[in-house]
Amino acid sequence: MRLSKKSLMHLYKKLFLIIVILTPINLFAEYEININFESGFEFESQKILISDLKNSKSKKQIEKLLKRQDWIKDFSIVYKPFKKEVYVSITNREPIFVLNNQFFYDINLHKFKFDNSKRDLIIVQGPVKNEEDILKIITRIDSISSINFNLNEINYSYVNGWDVITDKTLIRFGNDLTETKFKNFEYTANYLFENGKNPCIIDIRYRDGVALNYGK
């Protein structure tokens, strides 16, 4: 499952607490670094950060290192010299899709480098010029309460336009993501739900209607 119904809201309610203790580091030979990953341990980049923090040589270097991490949404550092402790609290960005196996994107379309982390995310492929179109597709489909499609992939090509692959059907939007198409999709989704139908293809590329393919 890539992104379940109502999962966008769930991203903001789900918090994990992971604490990593590193000791010693070069500058603070007898100091202990406590790292609190408030959003959980999710990225391969976190493993690299832990190693780099262990080898940090100054307070300035620690702060500079944290600021370079594009997957960090926010962080705070508390130094306790008398206790010889350093506390680092980190909030991760929460990606909802991966574009061309190059970048993660969160709900605010902030992008950060894809690092092969094993995440259950929507895979987007193609020469996408406007990432807002991707988010529009995800949010509009996810907002329809009558359906329970789990988005797996979104593919874009100059020839076919937008193809959305779910666990149940292929949704074809074509090149133009107009409000009319989204309304037609919503109407069709409600019709399918009310009548207990499950086509393998929902084709919304037509100007005057929607084509349903039930296959064999």
Q: What is the pTM of this model?
A: 0.78
Q: What is the pLDDT of residue 41?
A: 78
Contact 138, 96 (CB under 8 A): yes
Per residue in 175-196, pLDDT tens? 999 999 999 999 998 988 888 8
Maximum pairwise Cα distance, the chain:
73
Residue ranges, the chain, pLDDT below 70: 1-31, 118, 216
Q: What is the pLDDT of residue 172?
A: 96
Q: What is the pLDDT of residue 157?
A: 95
Q: What is the pLDDT of residue 68?
A: 92
Q: What is the pLDDT of residue 42?
A: 76
Q: What is the pLDDT of residue 109?
A: 96
d(CA 54, CA 57): 9
DSSP letters spanning 80-107? ETTTTEEEEEEEE--EEEEETTTEEEET
Q: What is the pLDDT of residue 19?
A: 52
